[in-house]
Amino acid sequence: MNNNTENVKVDGQDFAVLVESLYVANLLILPVLSFIILVLLFLKKHGSLPPLANSHLEQTISAGFLTAVMLFVATLTIMMMRLIGVEDIALWLIAIILFTILYAIMVLLGIVGLAKALSGKCWSYPVVGRKLPPGCPE
């Protein structure tokens, strides 16, 4: 038997892989630079892309902003706790656990999004994800 399970590229798949890679790079390798490139791509290309690429672009932008907001709120919370007198050891334990959990979840979601883009499928981030556009392969 000859199984021909060759991957067929979906329209916009390369761009979807690019934006998901930028999102993961923003979290792991090049924090601010990758996000700036992602925002510039969003401003330039949003709405003029195939459904798959547009979906992944919207998902990564919303997840990127959510990540920034969560880390900012976590930082403010830790600073407020310091001001009200929470001890240093307890504060560091809370900070390390909070940042580790938030960061690990966002990295994991980025990896899942990248895997979906590589397979030519749309995927919506849980909680912050946008509705998938019509015609987007799932």
Mean pLDDT (whole number) for 57-82: 87
Give me the pLDDT at residue 5, please: 46
More confident residue, 138 or 30: 30
What gap in Å lies between CA 111 and CA 4, rounded to an integer?
Answer: 27
pLDDT class for 7, splitting at 50, 70, 90?
low
Helix intervals (H) in 29-123: 31-45, 51-83, 88-118
User: By the 8 A CB rule, do 115 and 102 touch?
Assistant: no
pLDDT band of residue 127 (cuts 50, 70, 90) is confident
Q: Tell me the three state secondary structure of residue 25.
A: helix
Q: Is the pLDDT of residue 21 over 60?
A: yes
pLDDT category, 19, cuts 50, 70, 90? very high
pLDDT in tens, 72-91: 888 888 888 888 887 778 78
Q: How many CB atoms lie within 10 A of CB 1?
A: 2
Report domain extents, the chain: 13-118
Q: pTM value?
A: 0.83
Confidence of residue 6 (pLDDT cuts 50, 70, 90): low
Phi-psi region of 135 (alpha: psi -120 to 50; beta: other; left: phi over 0): left
Q: What tokens appear for 100 in the block?
A: 């580790």
Non-local (6+) Cβ contacts of 131 within 8 A are 124
The rounded distance, in Å, linking the Cα atoms of 117 and 74 is 30
| CA 63/CA 84 separation, integer angstroms | 31
